């Protein structure tokens, strides 16, 4: 075999049409081999003799796409010094663009079986681990263009590739649960009809099911256990796993873009699937343990702020390069439109504390590619001082956990929730205004993959995670949920009616709040996990989305609720059609300059029609409120550049446990039309709702809300 010197950059395996250049970083290893794997189980090892800045490299003519390979790192195995080289391990390429196979949990993959240097070369891990694959980088993108939807027009939809599509009745069996399913017209039609503008995919980077779950017959369904930051997860591919998964993912992105839907990836750069010091050696640990991971003072163990066993070393230039190269690859080569960063506070830990000005954020800020896409932080981790909602740099938006908590508290009837609710409804200026950000920095959500579904939020007081095999100890115990009078399924008609009303309340509040709304997949159909609030290991009907007409057995999760889906769709489109619900600037609480309208841009009233006082805001019993949103005070251009005027609404919230008669405020409009009443199954968004005059009373059912529009 010919071996040419090749190049140190780009890292990974890169095919150029005639051969493949291999490059891998390792400062710890004394020598590194690239091993080409053959179908008969044999391998050809080629030493990477050239080295530039500890990047070992070689060019191998004739190595084509589809070739499986791995690395072997020869060097010291001294865990007490942070070094864990082991030539018995066939290591994944940290820059692998595709990965084949899965981990066979044979003892050969574990690190701790080789603490004895006499034994560490006894077993070859190659038959028991995954392998890297050389890919063909060429793809016909046609005239693909990123939708570049502005944040103020964005509606996020968080979904799992498999969970969203596995039960869809219009999909062929061979496509269900795959990237190709995302590109199917039936799936895209649902998203577009719902009004979704961005699909936020739960992790699609190559992940691993850890040994404990595999032994229990479970899997790491959510995928927050990454081992390949460049490779699409091979289990979601219908066409094959020798590089075909890359082509299939690109095809899905192109199809979604054609429908005007952005693709945002949930990415996990805070840790890897190698776990703690007892975990498997799959890639990074065997190549250069101390350069990739945060090690404890004794160097044998790991510092962990993620709850997974390890944390990546965010002050290492090689880790930062890996992350930035990965992000740019997914934007430039895979055409994704943004990222949601899991446990993003960990990315800010250069040392122990969270540093808002850490190197990672500096790199993102100045990067001409990554800085131009949507960047969403999950602004917390499990370490000390890890809750950082409101503290990320101006370029970033954040999952607003305080929005979720406050809205849940309001509708379940917690005292003294109203004052904070006022901030959350209007874009959380207390969190984002001081550093120059706008309401669109707040990603508003009531539910997400982690926790109760929307249906379960109003059906359970307590978590029911017994199926996870951890004696119900896993998952959050404080969910701010309320079962409306019965735990779980019930035939009580009054409880069922209240739950349906509460779901409509939560959806309407979400869609009419300032900021960027995010739906969790299946919530539009009332998806249930039967009280499981931590379905990370449930790859089955419990966690999959039910669709109308899916023919699933009745003992699976609850039947899909088409009426709720229709309501969600109406709320999304009400938001889309009226800019007053998606302002790009915070309210000022006074008339807008440059307009002839003397009314304030926002006003707050008691149910009696009087303006709210500080005492009203702070009263423990306050659970009802009227909000005036002045559409005539919007200084932003409309869809075609024209200024939108006279688009005003009243929002009436009654979170009280009894009906309340609301007095319509005077001096803000002579007549109003009810367009939404969550006490009713139907909406009047298309017209035909009851009319009510200023000063008149409008009765609202207990725990309900109404939306009134001032006729133009």
The active-site residue out of 210, 288, 378, 398 is 378
Helices (H), 466-538: 493-511
Q: Which residue has the tokens 């739950």?
A: 499
The active-site residue out of 43, 274, 304, 342 is 342
Q: What is the DSSP letter of 233?
A: P
Residues 607, 660: contact at Cβ < 8 Å?
yes
Residues whose CB falls within 8 Å of the CB of residue 497, separated by 6 or more in sequence, listed in order: none
Active-site residue flag, 258: no
Distance, in Å, from the CA atom of 418 to the CA atom of 525, rounded to the nearest integer, reads: 29
Residues whose CB falls within 8 Å of the CB of residue 87, separated by 6 or more in sequence, listed in order: 72, 73, 74, 121
Question: Six-digit token pair at 626?
Answer: 């009227």
Helices (H), 230-277: 244-258
Distance, in Å, from the CA atom of 627 to the CA atom of 707, rounded to the nearest integer, reads: 10
Q: Which residue has the tokens 């779980």?
A: 488
Residues whose CB falls within 8 Å of the CB of residue 160, separated by 6 or more in sequence, listed in order: 201, 202, 221, 222, 223, 449, 521, 543
Tell me if residue 346 falls in helix, strand or coil. Answer: helix
Distance, in Å, from the CA atom of 624 to the CA atom of 609, rounded to the nearest integer, reads: 11
Distance, in Å, from the CA atom of 137 to the CA atom of 62, rounded to the nearest integer, reads: 16
Distance, in Å, from the CA atom of 232 to the CA atom of 333, rounded to the nearest integer, reads: 12
Distance, in Å, from the CA atom of 310 to the CA atom of 295, rounded to the nearest integer, reads: 8
Tell me if residue 453 falls in helix, strand or coil. Answer: coil
Helix (H) or strand (E) holding 190: helix 185-194
Active-site residue flag, 33: no
Residues 446, 408: contact at Cβ < 8 Å?
yes
Q: With the C-alpha atoms ordered 383, 158, 358, 54, is the resulting torsion angle positive or negative?
A: positive
ω into residue 405 within 30 of 0, thus cis?
A: no
Kindly list the catalytic residues. 342, 378
């Amino acid at each position: 075999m010919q071996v040419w010197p090749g190049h140190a950059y780009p890292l990974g395996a890169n095919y150029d049409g005639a051969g493949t250049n291999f490059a891998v970083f390792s400062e710890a290893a004394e020598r590194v081999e690239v091993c080409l794997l053959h179908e008969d189980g044999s391998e050809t090892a080629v030493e990477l003799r050239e080295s530039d800045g500890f990047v070992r490299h070689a060019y191998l003519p004739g190595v084509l796409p589809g070739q499986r390979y791995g690395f072997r790192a020869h060097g010291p195995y001294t865990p007490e010094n942070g070094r864990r080289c082991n030539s018995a391990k066939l290591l994944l390429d940290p820059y692998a663009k595709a990965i084949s196979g899965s981990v066979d949990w044979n003892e050969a993959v574990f690190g701790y079986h080789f603490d004895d240097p006499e034994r560490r070369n006894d077993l070859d891990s190659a038959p028991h681990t995954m392998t890297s694959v050389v890919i063909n980088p060429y793809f016909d993108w046609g005239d693909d263009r990123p939708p570049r939807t502005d944040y103020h027009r964005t509606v996020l939809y968080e979904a799992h590739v498999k969970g969203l599509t596995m039960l869809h009745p219009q999909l062929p069996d061979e496509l269900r649960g795959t990237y190709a399913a995302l590109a199917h017209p039936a799936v895209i039609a649902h998203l577009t009809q719902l009004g979704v503008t961005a699909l936020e995919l739960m992790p699609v980077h190559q992940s691993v099911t850890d040994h404990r779950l595999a032994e229990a017959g479970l899997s790491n369904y959510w995928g927050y256990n990454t081992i390949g930051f460049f490779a699409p997860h091979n289990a979601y591919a219908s066409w094959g796993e020798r590089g075909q998964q890359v082509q299939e993912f690109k095809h899905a992105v192109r199809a979604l873009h054609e429908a005007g839907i952005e693709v945002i990836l949930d990415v996990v750069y805070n840790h890897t699937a190698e776990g703690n010091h007892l975990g498997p050696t799959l890639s990074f640990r065997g190549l250069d343990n101390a350069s990739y991971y945060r090690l404890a003072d004794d160097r044998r163990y790991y510092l962990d702020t993620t709850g997974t066993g390890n944390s990546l070393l965010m002050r290492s230039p090689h880790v930062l390069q890996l992350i930035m190269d990965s992000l740019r690859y997914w934007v430039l080569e895979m055409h994704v439109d943004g990222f949601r960063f899991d446990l993003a506070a960990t990315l800010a830990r250069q040392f122990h504390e969270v540093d808002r000005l850490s190197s990672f954020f500096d790199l993102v800020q100045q990067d001409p590619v990554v800085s131009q896409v949507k960047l969403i932080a999950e602004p917390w981790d499990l370490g000390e001082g890890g809750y950082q909602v409101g503290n990320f740099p101006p370029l970033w938006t954040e999952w607003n956990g305080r929005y979720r908590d406050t809205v849940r508290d309001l509708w379940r009837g917690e005292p003294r929730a109203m004052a904070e609710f006022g901030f959350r409804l209007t874009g959380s200026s207390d969190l984002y205004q001081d550093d120059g950000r706008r309401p669109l920095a707040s990603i508003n959500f009531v539910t997400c993959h982690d926790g109760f579904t929307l249906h379960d939020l109003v059906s359970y007081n307590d978590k029911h995670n017994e199926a996870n095999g951890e004696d119900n100890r896993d998952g959050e115990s404080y969910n701010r949920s309320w079962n409306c009078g019965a735990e779980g399924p019930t035939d009580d008609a009054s409880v069922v009616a209240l739950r349906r009303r509460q779901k409509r309340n939560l959806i309407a509040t979400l869609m009419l709040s300032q900021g960027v709304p995010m739906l969790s997949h299946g919530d539009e159909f009332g998806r249930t996990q039967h009280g499981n609030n931590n379905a990370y290991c449930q790859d089955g009907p419990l966690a999959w989305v039910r669709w109308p007409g899916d023919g699933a057995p009745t003992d699976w999760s609850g039947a899909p609720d088409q009426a709720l889906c229709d309501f969600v769709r109406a709320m999304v489109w009400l938001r889309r059609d009226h800019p007053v619900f998606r302002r790009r600037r915070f309210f000022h609480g006074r008339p807008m300059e440059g307009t002839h309208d003397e009314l304030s841009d926002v006003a707050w009233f008691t149910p009696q029609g009087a303006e709210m006082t500080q005492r009203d805001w702070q009263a423990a019993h306050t659970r009802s409120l009227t909000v005036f949103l002045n559409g005539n005070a919007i200084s932003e251009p409309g869809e075609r550049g024209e200024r939108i005027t006279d688009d005003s609404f009243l929002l009436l919230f009654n979170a009280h446990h009894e009906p309340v008669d609301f007095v319509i405020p005077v001096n803000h409009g002579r007549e109003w039309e009810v367009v939404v009443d969550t006490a009713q199954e139907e909406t009047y968004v298309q017209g035909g709702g009851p009319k009510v005059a200023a000063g008149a009373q409008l009765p609202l059912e207990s725990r309900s809300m109404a939306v009134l529009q001032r006729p133009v």
